[in-house]
Amino acid sequence: MRELVTELEERAAREPAGIAAIDAEGPHTVEAVLRAGDALADTLEKIVGIGPTVLFQADNTWRTVAAAIAVGRLDGTLALISRHATSAEFTAALDDIDPDAVLGSPERMEEWRVEDRLPELDGDVLDGWRWAGKPGRPAGRWGGGVVIGLTSGSTGRAKGVVQSEAALRYAARCTIDAVGLAPGDAVAALVPMSSSAAFCFGLYLPLHLGGPIVFSDRWDPGEAALLMARHDVRWTMCVPTMALQLAAAAPEPGLLARVRAMTVGGGPMDVGALARAEQRLGTRILRVFGMSECLGHTTPALDDPEEIRLGVDGRPFPGTQLRAVDEFGQPVPPGQPGRAQVRGPSLFVGYARAGAVVPPELTSDGFFPTGDLLAVLPDGTVAVRGREKDIIIRGGRNIDVAEVEGAVAAHPAVQQACVVPVPDDLLGERVAVLVVSDRESFDLETVQRHLAERGLSKGKWPEYVWRVPALPQNRVGKLSRADAARIARELKEREWTMN
């Protein structure tokens, strides 16, 4: 991250008292975070050497900024891990990344038993944190990658996504241009900093833009809304659940009218719910499609009509190509759903495995299969239709989860909906839906009557409906379908036991 460090040095020379980050401890100047980064770089270099791979507890605080500076100074690679990672998840990350150093709070370092794998070293780093390390392996083992973020890991083992600084800069620049952000604008970092995408849009982008990062370290939607208003935040990125929670918790309408836009992606979205959220908040929501493997690669324009901003998933960034293909890899006609493939400047370097980068498996012409179902519409916008594997097989019939979920979510009393399978001895799977709604009488009959009015085929109707206070989320605030399915199974078993 040499380029980012150079920009921060130039900024410090112009305005040493300028604010680089604001967190629970207060404001931190550009000069202060550079000083902290330099001190950490000196400490690392003495033991680990140049070009280190550092596994870092990535909190939404000034420490993550300082760590990025330190690793950038040493031409190294910063690997990010959540403070909520279990010991097993930490061990898996160690195996995949094989870091030269690990940095974290005393509590996490002890819980993860870091000393079992790396010698713990003396010396205060980052104001009370601990570290462990060894002489570094040769630099350059990540193929130009400067950051490694773990995927959310909602199913199976999390993957370490390796991204280059060129990819970070491209995705940041395209977003800045699309939103119309100005140098010095404040950006809120609401999503936990442990993924490549969160690091790109919550840390790299605002530092590149030259404005302060307003960190929210522990998610509280009411506090986050007030924080954004208090510090005149002009843009943020979050997942749909967070956007809806912000709207519900905002103490007054129009609180975020100064925010130019909120970019929302990474989960199921309903036009009506998003429209109500942006009306309550007083800002505009930009619905996008992106992933850690190809950073934020679509967006609508700020002045697009609501049906494009909220109803589809934007247009590819300049220089990025998206296509939908059939099972034989042939492009499908415009408007027809197919398997999504992408290529462009923000495509990742590869996955971290056994301490080295494994390049992605691309098509012969360089496209990355995303695992999503996508339609490229005649006007050039794209619409995500769900995941390839997001289907429920009921009696041999495939039911598209996204289709049913979208139909249920369109009910005006539904704030959020999640369609999941529940096991059935006769049919294999049946359709269930968890809904978040203030209407206490919201039940199966209500849903089925609504779906009949919408004309959804009866064979796709849910057979179970449960009202829940909130949908389960993973560590980055995305919907956890695995946990939702578990909750549905437990609710079904409870009903069976009571009957």
Are 369 and 402 within one domain? no
| Cα→Cα distances 317→298, 299, 385, Å | 5, 7, 20
d(CA 374, CA 370): 10
Q: Kindly indicate the confidence band of residue 399, based on its pLDDT and cuts at 50, 70 and 90.
A: confident
Categorize the per-residue pLDDT at 151 as very low, low, confident or very high, splitting at 50, 70 and 90.
confident
Domain co-membership, 412 together with 286: no
Same domain (yes/no): 361, 408: no
Query: Is pLDDT at 154 greater than 70 in this prediction?
Result: no
Mean pLDDT of 491-499: 81
pLDDT the model gives residue 156: 52
What is the pLDDT, as a whole number, of residue 494? 87
Tokens of 364: 């012969």
Same domain, 420 and 332: no
Q: Region 328-350: what's the mean pLDDT?
A: 94
Q: What pLDDT, on a 0 to 100 scale, did the predictor assign at position 392?
A: 85
Return the bridge partners of 419, or none: 433
Q: What is the pLDDT of residue 152?
A: 58
Is residue 53 pLDDT above 50, yes or no? Answer: yes
pLDDT at 350 over 90: yes
The residue-averaged pLDDT of 234-244 equals 91
Mean pLDDT of 44-53: 93
The first and second tokens of residue 250, run together, are: 């905002």
Q: CA neighbours within 13 Å on the CB side: how many for 109?
A: 19
Q: How far apart are CA 213 and CA 231, in angstroms?
A: 10
Question: 416 lies in which domain range?
Answer: 390-498
Give the pLDDT confidence score for residue 396 in this predicted structure: 61
Average confidence (pLDDT) over 52-67: 97
Residue 29 belongs to a domain: yes
341-355 burial, b for 16+ CB within 10 Å, e for fewer?
A: bbbbbbbbbbbbeeb
Q: What angle do CA 434, 436, 442 make, to 5 degrees?
A: 80
Q: Based on the fold, state whether residues 351 and 430 are members of the same structural domain.
A: no
Pull the structure tokens for residue 245.
């929670």
Q: Are residues 57 and 187 in the same domain?
A: yes
What's the pLDDT at 155?
Answer: 41
| Pick from 223-227, 335-339, 362-366, 389-393: least confident | 389-393
pLDDT digits (tens, 9 = 90+) for 71-111: 999 999 999 999 988 888 899 999 999 999 999 999 999 99
Indicate the residue among 376, 400, 431 that finishes a domain: 376
Q: Which residue has the higher pLDDT, 288 or 154?
A: 288
**Average pLDDT of the segment spanning 211-237:** 96
**Which of 263, 269, 244 is CA-nearest to residue 383?**
269
Residue type, 61: T
> In terms of C-beta density within 10 A (0-12 exposed, 13-18 middle, 19 or more buried), how is residue 457 classed?
exposed
**CA–CA separation, 12 and 350 (whole Å):** 34
Distance, CA of 352 to CA of 475 (rounded, Å) = 20
Q: Are residues 19 and 129 in the same domain?
A: yes
Does residue 188 carry a pLDDT above 90? yes
CATH code of the domain containing 47: 3.40.50.12780
The residue-averaged pLDDT of 195-207 equals 96
Predicted pLDDT of residue 324: 95
pTM as predicted: 0.83
pLDDT at position 33 over 60? yes
Q: Are 19 and 231 in contact (CB under 8 A)?
A: no
Say yes or no: 146 and 54 in one domain: yes
The pLDDT tens digits for 278-296 are 999 999 999 999 889 999 8
Q: What is the mean pLDDT of the chain?
A: 92
Identify the burial level of 491 via C-beta atoms within 10 angstroms of its C-beta, where 0-12 means exposed, 13-18 middle and 19 or more buried.
middle
Whether the CB-CB separation of 186 and 361 falls below 8 Å is answered with no
The pLDDT tens digits for 404-419 are 998 999 999 999 999 9
Residue 381 lies in a domain: no
Phi and psi based region of residue 119 (left: phi greater than 0; alpha: psi -120 to 50; beta: remaining)? beta
Q: What pLDDT is recorded for position 376?
A: 95
Task: Decide if 286 is inside a domain.
Answer: yes
Asked if 277 and 418 sit in the same domain, the reply is no
How far apart (Å, rounded) are the C-alpha atoms in residues 488 and 435? 11
CATH of the domain at 481: 3.30.300.30
pLDDT recorded at residue 268: 63
Q: Which of 53-62, 143-152, 377-386, 409-418 has the highest mean pLDDT?
A: 53-62
Eight-state DSSP code of residue 458: G
Instruction: Let me know if residue 266 belongs to a domain.
Output: yes
Asked if 123 contacts 131 with a C-beta cutoff of 8 angstroms, the reply is: yes
**For residue 27, pLDDT beyond 50:** yes
Q: Do the domain assignments include residue 80?
A: yes
- How many domains, in total, are found in the chain? 2
Residue among 422, 420, 374 nearest 401 (CA): 420
Please name the residues in contact with 69: beta carbons below 8 A apart, sequence gap of 6 or more. 1, 4, 5, 8, 33, 34, 36, 37, 38, 40, 41
Is the domain of 153 the same as that of 182? Answer: yes
